[in-house]
Structure formats: structure tokens, C-alpha cells
Structure 1
Amino acid sequence: MNQSDEAVNGACHCGTVQFRVKLSDGLNTARRCTCSYCRMRGAVAVSAQVGGLEITSGEEALTLYQFNTKAAKHYFCSVCGIYTHHQRRSNPQQYGINAACLEGVSPFDFDEVIVNDGVNHPADDKSPNRPSYVGILKYIRCE
């Protein structure tokens, strides 16, 4: 499946929240973040434009969580607690979609995932030359 060209189905763990999403660049946008919330959540997120996400069932079960500046909007299923997506602080026109919620995708499918510097968020930093990422998380398979 070429996930950059077609919509992908997704759901939370219990299946209460279900959605279809057109990813911005397939799985190529996979990222993690070092902010206090993402660090504890540990999810790999891929990108979609705000208009590219359609909640097909269970929208009433979504719960919103915001912290600090309250600019980012983190959504999770109120039944099973799984984070499904968030509207980004760095780009409010984008969603970060939990890759593990996508049909046929596991966070262990990614050999490398860029780690964004959410502790020193680009919106808070006045230094134009600072990179937005702090490293790459590598998944090494045991043979």
C-alpha cells in the first residue's frame, strides 16, 4: 500500500474511535518528541493536514488534553486511553497521527525515527539556526 497516495484506516485499541486519514507524506514523516507529555506517551507520530483526518465513529469518546501553552490539542479515547492524534503547536494546520493506530502499522516498523526537540520548542526559541530535532531513535532488531 502506498500510504502517501491514499487514505489509511485507523482506530484506538478498543475500536471505539475509528478514523480515515490521508497522510502528508506517507510514513516518511515519522517523528517522536522530547516534550514532557510526548516523552511519557512515547508514541511515533506521522503527519496529516487538518482537513485530511475524518473521524468515522466514536468522536464523542474522544477526550482532549492540553497543557502549558494549551496551543497543542492532544486527543485520546476515553474508553481505552490510547492517544490517537494531536493538533500541533508547531503547525496548527497539521495533525500528528499515532502511527500505532494505523491499520497494518507498528511503531517497530521504523528502523529510524527523528526525535524533535519539544523541550526547547521552536515556537519558544528565538535562535533561527537551532535545529528542530535532537537526534534519531534507532530500532535494532535482534537476530
Structure 2
Amino acid sequence: MCSRRNAVVASVDLDNLKVVKGEDSLSVYTFNTHTAKHYFCSKCGIYTHHQRRSNPHEYGVNISCVEGVKIEDYQHIGYLDGRDDHPADRA
């Protein structure tokens, strides 16, 4: 995943994510192994969420897209920088 995406991502089980507005504007893409499904707004291009490759039963959700969430509140949490290996590729 490109390090320039700069999303703040939280994990959620597939059954626990509900898109309440704008689902008709979402588009999806896949690449490489085509296991992960990456969703983005077809109007503005923002990444909203993806079905994970490392755990296909889980979504990664860009919390920057969640109304009322301030990403500054999460700066203390560790992160993947997008430059190092994907967790599923580590031996």
C-alpha cells in the first residue's frame, strides 16, 4: 500500500461495518494478489475502507472518513508506514 495514502486505519469485522451514506458512490479496486478489496469514493477519490489481505474477515476503515472522529486523538498508536513489508508477507 502506498505510503502517500496517509490514511488512519482501524480494524473492524466484516459484519460490523455499515455504510450509512454514499454507498452508491463507492468504487472498488484490487491489485497484486486480488485478495484485498479497496473501496474509494468515485466522486472525490478518498480511500474509505478495504477488505484486508492479511485477514479477509476484517475491514480496515479510514477513520478520517468517520464523521466526528479526530485523527489527532490517535497519534499515540503505532502504525504501518506503507514502505515496509505487508504483515502477510513477513516470514
Q: TM-score range by the shorter chain?
A: 0.7 to 0.9
1:100 matched residue in structure 2: 64
2:5 matched residue in structure 1: 41
Is 1:125–2:90 an aligned residue pair?
yes
Runs of 4 or more above 4 Å deviation: none
Task: Report the Cα distance in structure 2 between the residues aligned to 1:68 and 1:114, rounded to whole angstroms.
Answer: 26
1:63 deviation in Å? 0.7
1:86 matched residue in structure 2: 50
Report SS of the residue matched to 1:115. Answer: coil
Moved more, 91-100 or 109-118: 109-118
Q: Which of 1 and 2 has greater Rg?
A: 1
TM-score, normalised on structure 1?
0.56
Is 1:69–2:8 an aligned residue pair?
no
From 111, 114, 120, the equivalent of 2:78 is 114
Task: Report the Cα distance in structure 2 between the residues aligned to 1:117 and 1:70, rounded to whole angstroms.
Answer: 21
- AA at the equivalent of 1:81: G
Report SS of the residue matched to 2:16. Answer: strand
With CA pairs under 8 Å and 6+ residues apart, which has the higher RCO, 1 or 2? 2
Which of the pair is proportionally richer in strand? 1
1:117 deviation in Å? 6.5
Q: Which runs of 5+ in 2 are unaligned?
A: none
Which of the pair is proportionally richer in helix? 2
TM-score, normalised on structure 2?
0.83
Alignment RMSD (CA, Å): 1.8
Task: Report the Cα distance in structure 1 between the residues aligned to 2:18 and 2:57, rounded to whole angstroms.
Answer: 15
How many residue pairs get aligned? The number is: 90
1:125 deviation in Å? 2.6
1:56 deviation in Å? 2.6
